């Protein structure tokens, strides 16, 4: 049996990315990476080193992984092509550029493909913001699996490396909400050689340079930020922490919860240990995450020659491109550790920030573009006000295993100085050609309350009428399970925001985001939230239903009914009926929700909120819209229409051709053919 490779601290320079050549090409002269064979040949290339396969449309903007990773590799001297939203029904598109000299880099896109496709109620979404024209169906379910398998089909001996959010969050055994079962590591189903998890600039560049130097694909198993599957005859590393096996977490929910706890305790790159999880005779080995990259590296990455536009091949508008084209990313990572959020798991909890100079340079570049209208749509990141915040004691940070730096209270060692972000906001407003700089990223209210000057600057100069905040809930028990601050932060922040808006004579409003059906949220908790909404006058236009994403702590609560860190039982609203009632309570003011809200209030023994009093959520008598909706729902249920697709001899050929968006001819029992 072959021994496992040791983890190397760094194969290359610790500032690998900052060594990339500086870029000063004017925006108008920049050219996107090739998407077609013709573009490849126009550059005089006879082969491609790395083909980057993605489920998103190719937008050459530093908000998208394919753009960042492609430009990093290009700057290091590699030939890179983008295979965007290929036809996965055969391997033809994978042969478009010929066999890549080094490897296929596979990603489902900026989102997990299942979350991209389906709502919390498992209904197909009506649009895809990452596709031309917002069209759905341009990527398959579980896209990473299909893309890796097609790469193998196209070239049997090619190296295949999976990455991106979907692969990162599914690298070990995980609960899959859409199939309602525990699935094994995506590595085994995708049959990828390696899986790169987390942010990928360093890892993909190191892979490319080492393979280019003649190393084998197996030798890359010593890298941080890499997971791999051993062969049946291979011995996994002896120094790794052994997780409950796939078979154990499949059979025992307590074992699943224990595995989640171990995984999340090993996320700090300064003290994380290697993990191993058996799947029958094979083992999935997950090395520690990469170290956070330096400010120089961040500046180098975001200073590469992006066109900041969708590839010119697209004739239809891509919604995501419209939304982010005038935005600027100032940092990455989040130390909030919210149990329902994947940002900390993917980007890390250590904040990595760009320099003030790098951000101002990007704003100046935007201002020189004739297409720019003068308004920066967002200057932020995962959170608007964590810029340059970090632990004040590196020696403590190196051993800390705390899941959140701000829960249950803000750590006394956390640097919460808003000075750098305030200076950045002021400097951004002074850039010639910039008329307005907005903050559209969510504001962390518990941090903002520590800096009245930040709230004042934000309110007076950087709100475009609406400010996003995410209190998520009002019930103390639910907030604790979410790892969110108490509801007092929201109320106090709102009061200050309104006062500052009045002083400036501006009509500005808060847009609070709340989650329905989160683990721990029962009818009583949702009624508590509805009463608060009634009292404050907030009327959410959209309701965010909890979606159990792979690897999240809240997903483990949903599946097991346990908090993995305390092993205490947690209430779960699993049935569609319960989720509908919680959703309706958040929009109690809509007449068509009357009957659901009434049912919830009666069930929770809160009939005191039914009536015509000022504190009541709904009136005593149902409005006509509620009765109309009940009638329409009844008509739909008893209309008697049904179509089934049965794989019989007559439609078997058609069944092979159809995709999930191309239904077959169907089967109707009242036709002559069916007899």
Backbone dihedral angles phi then psi of residue 46, each to the nearest 5 degrees:
-100, -10
Q: Are residues 534 and 507 in the same domain?
A: yes
pLDDT in tens, 23-41: 778 888 899 999 999 999 9
Q: What are 60's two structure tokens? A: 């050459």
What's the pLDDT score for residue 648?
47
CATH (domain of 186): 3.40.50.280
Q: Are residues 383 and 468 in the same domain?
A: no
- Maximum pairwise Cα distance, the chain: 79
Within 8 A by CB and 6+ apart from 217, the residues are 103, 159, 193, 194, 211
What's the pLDDT score for residue 655?
44
CA atoms within 13 A on the CB side of 103: 28
Within 8 A by CB and 6+ apart from 218, the residues are none
Question: Does a structural domain hold residue 305?
Answer: no
Spatial distance between the Cα atoms of 666 and 643, rounded to a whole number of angstroms: 6
Within 8 A by CB and 6+ apart from 657, the residues are none
CATH (domain of 376): 3.30.750.210
What's the pLDDT score for residue 640?
52
- Identify the domain boundary among 196, 228, 260: 228
Q: Are residues 86 and 124 in the same domain?
A: yes
Q: What is the DSSP letter of 484?
A: -
Q: Are residues 658 and 595 in the same domain?
A: no
What's the pLDDT score for residue 190?
96
CATH (domain of 505): 3.30.750.200
Q: What are 343's two structure tokens? A: 């940002």
Burial status of residue 658 (CB atoms within 10 A of its CB: 0-12, 13-18, 19 or more): middle
Spatial distance between the Cα atoms of 148 and 528, rounded to a whole number of angstroms: 47
Q: Are residues 487 and 419 in the same domain?
A: no
Handedness of CA 262, 263, 267, 272 (dihedral sign): positive
Angle at 300 between CA 296 and CA 304, to 5 degrees: 170
Q: Are residues 667 and 620 in the same domain?
A: no
What's the pLDDT score for residue 15?
63
Which among 587, 575, 580, 482 is positioned nearest to 529, based on CA atoms? 587
> Cα separations (Å) of 273 from 14, 162, 167, 287, 395?
20, 22, 20, 7, 18
Spatial distance between the Cα atoms of 267 and 275, rounded to a whole number of angstroms: 11
Q: Containing H/E element for 126?
A: none
CA atoms within 13 A on the CB side of 88: 22
Question: Does a structural domain hold residue 12?
Answer: no
**Residue 62 CA to its chain's centroid (Å):** 15
Question: Does a structural domain hold residue 290?
Answer: no
What's the pLDDT score for residue 486?
84
Q: What are 570's two structure tokens? A: 């947690």
Q: Are residues 211 and 121 in the same domain?
A: yes
Q: What are 503's two structure tokens? A: 């002083």
Tally of domains in the chain: 4
What's the pLDDT score for residue 645?
43
Q: Are residues 195 and 183 in the same domain?
A: yes
Domain hosting residue 568, numbered range: 463-641
Q: Are residues 436 and 482 in the same domain?
A: no
For residue 654, say if its preceding peptide bond is cis, omega within 30 degrees of 0.
no
Question: Does a structural domain hold residue 525?
Answer: yes
Q: Are residues 71 and 42 in the same domain?
A: yes
Q: What are 616's two structure tokens? A: 């009541």
- Identify the domain boundary among 180, 212, 228: 228
CA Rg, the chain, in Å? Answer: 26
Question: Does a structural domain hold residue 235?
Answer: no
pLDDT in tens, 150-200: 999 999 999 999 999 999 999 999 999 999 999 999 999 999 999 999 999
Which among 656, 655, 638, 636 is positioned nearest to 667, based on CA atoms? 655
Spatial distance between the Cα atoms of 307 and 288, rounded to a whole number of angstroms: 34
Q: Are 521 and 478 in contact (CB under 8 A)?
A: yes
Q: Are residues 587 and 457 in the same domain?
A: no
Q: Are residues 408 and 477 in the same domain?
A: no
Question: Does a structural domain hold residue 7?
Answer: no
Question: Does a structural domain hold residue 372?
Answer: yes
- Identify the domain boundary among 228, 259, 290: 228
Residue ranges, the chain, pLDDT below 70: 1-15, 636-675
Question: Does a structural domain hold residue 665?
Answer: yes
């Amino acid at each position: 049996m072959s021994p496992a490779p040791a983890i190397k601290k760094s194969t290359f320079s610790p500032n690998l990315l900052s060594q990339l050549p500086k870029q000063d090409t004017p925006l108008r002269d920049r050219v996107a990476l090739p998407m077609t064979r013709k573009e490849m040949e126009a550059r005089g290339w006879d082969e491609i080193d790395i083909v980057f396969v993605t489920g998103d449309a190719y937008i050459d903007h530093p908000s998208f992984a394919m753009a960042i990773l492609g430009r990093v590799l290009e700057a290091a001297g590699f030939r890179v092509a983008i295979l965007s939203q290929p036809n996965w029904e055969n391997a033809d598109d994978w042969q478009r550029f010929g066999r890549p000299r080094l490897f296929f880099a596979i990603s489902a896109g900026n989102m997990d493909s299942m979350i991209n496709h389906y709502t919390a109620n498992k209904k197909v979404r009506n649009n895809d913001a990452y596709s031309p024209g917002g069209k759905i169906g341009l990527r398959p379910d579980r896209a990473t699996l299909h893309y890796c398998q097609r790469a193998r089909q196209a070239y049997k001996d090619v190296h295949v490396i999976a990455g991106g959010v979907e692969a990162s969050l599914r690298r070990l055994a995980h609960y899959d909400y859409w199939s309602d079962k525990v699935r094994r590591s995506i590595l085994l189903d995708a049959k990828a050689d390696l899986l790169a998890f987390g942010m990928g600039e360093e890892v993909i560049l190191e892979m490319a340079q080492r393979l280019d130097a003649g190393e084998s694909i197996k030798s890359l198993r010593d890298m941080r930020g890499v997971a791999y599957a051993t062969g049946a005859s291979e011995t996994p590393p002896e120094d790794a922490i052994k997780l409950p096996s796939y078979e154990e977490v499949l059979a025992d929910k307590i074992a699943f919860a224990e595995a989640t706890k171990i995984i999340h305790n090993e996320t700090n790159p300064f003290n994380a240990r290697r993990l191993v999880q058996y799947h029958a005779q094979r083992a999935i080995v997950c090395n520690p995450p990469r170290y956070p990259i330096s400010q120089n590296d961040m500046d180098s990455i975001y200073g590469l020659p992006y066109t900041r536009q969708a590839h010119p091949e697209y004739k239809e508008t891509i919604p995501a491109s419209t939304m982010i084209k005038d935005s600027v990313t100032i940092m990455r990572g989040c130390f909030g550790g919210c149990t329902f959020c994947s940002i900390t798991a993917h980007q890390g909890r250590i904040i990595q920030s760009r320099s003030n100079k790098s951000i101002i340079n990007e704003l100046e570049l935007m201002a020189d573009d004739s297409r720019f209208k003068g308004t920066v749509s967002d200057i932020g990141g995962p959170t608007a006000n964590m810029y340059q915040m970090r632990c004040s004691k590196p020696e403590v940070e190196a051993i800390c295993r705390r899941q959140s730096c701000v829960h249950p209270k803000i750590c006394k060692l956390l640097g919460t100085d808003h000075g750098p972000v305030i200076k950045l906001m002021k400097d951004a407003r002074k850039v010639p050609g910039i008329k307005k700089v907005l903050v559209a990223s969510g504001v962390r209210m518990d941090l903002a309350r520590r800096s009245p000057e930040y709230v004042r600057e934000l309110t007076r100069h950087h709100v475009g009428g609406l400010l996003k905040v995410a209190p998520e809930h009002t019930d103390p028990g639910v907030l604790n399970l979410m790892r969110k601050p108490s509801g007092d932060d929201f109320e106090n922040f709102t009061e200050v925001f309104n006062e500052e808006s009045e002083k400036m004579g501006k009509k500005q409003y808060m847009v609070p985001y709340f989650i329905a059906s989160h683990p721990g949220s029962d009818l009583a908790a949702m009624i508590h939230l509805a009463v608060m909404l009634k009292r404050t006058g907030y009327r959410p236009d959209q309701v965010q239903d909890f979606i159990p994403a792979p690897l999240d702590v809240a997903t483990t609560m949903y599946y097991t009914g346990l908090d993995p860190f305390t092993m205490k039982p947690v209430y779960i609203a699993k049935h569609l009926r319960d989720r509908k009632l919680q959703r309706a309570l958040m929009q109690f003011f809509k007449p068509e929700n009357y009957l659901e809200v009434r049912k919830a209030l009666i069930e929770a023994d809160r009939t005191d909120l039914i009536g015509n009093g000022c504190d009541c959520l709904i009136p005593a008598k149902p409005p006509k819209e509620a009765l109309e909706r009940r009638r329409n729902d009844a008509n739909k249920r008893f209309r008697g229409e049904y179509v089934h697709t049965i794989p019989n001899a007559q439609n078997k050929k058609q069944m092979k051709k159809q995709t999930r968006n191309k239904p077959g001819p169907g089967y109707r029992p009242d036709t002559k053919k069916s007899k």
